[in-house]
Amino acid sequence: MALVFTLICVAVICFLLFIIVKTVMSRKK
């Protein structure tokens, strides 16, 4: 159960980082 929770947390963090990078790239243009 803990492993699943960890994987979900990693997936959420990666998703947030992807949104942040996308936003930064859009602002640079």
Over the stretch 1-29, which tens digit does the pLDDT of each residue have? Answer: 799 999 999 999 999 999 999 999 999 87
- Cα 3 from Cα 11, distance rounded (Å): 12
pTM check: above 0.75: no
Query: DSSP class of residue 26?
Result: H
| Token code pair at residue 15 | 């998703």
Give the per-residue pLDDT at 20.
98
- pLDDT of the residue at 1: 78
Q: Can you count the helices (H) and strands (E) in the chain?
A: 1, 0
Paired tokens of 5: 């929770």
